[in-house]
Amino acid sequence: MGSLFSPKMPPLPPVQPAPEPPSAELSTEEKERIASEQAGVERRRRGRKSTILTGPLGVEEEAEVGRKTLLGE
């Protein structure tokens, strides 16, 4: 009896074709803007690189093992 009182499904809307993708060509102004942004990123990356004290294998300095305490040793 459930099918007598349930509403009927409305028809599905027609499928629209997908829009065409934008062209891959960039204008010279856009190319220059992208190049200047990339140059800025590289410049900032080089500036931070000098502050890193470790190499790819970890800390490169020897650890300071023996320290004097307040008791004189």
CA distance 45 to 35: 15
- pLDDT tens-place string over residues 39-48: 988 888 776 6
Q: Is residue 32's pLDDT more than 60?
A: yes
CA distance 34 to 40: 10
DSSP string, 43-69: HHHHHHHTT--EETTEE-SPP------
- Which pLDDT value is given to residue 23? 76
Please give the model's pTM, rounded to 2 decimal places: 0.36
Mean pLDDT taken over the chain: 78
- Which pLDDT value is given to residue 24? 78
- For residues 55 and 13, the model is more confident at 13
CA distance 2 to 41: 65
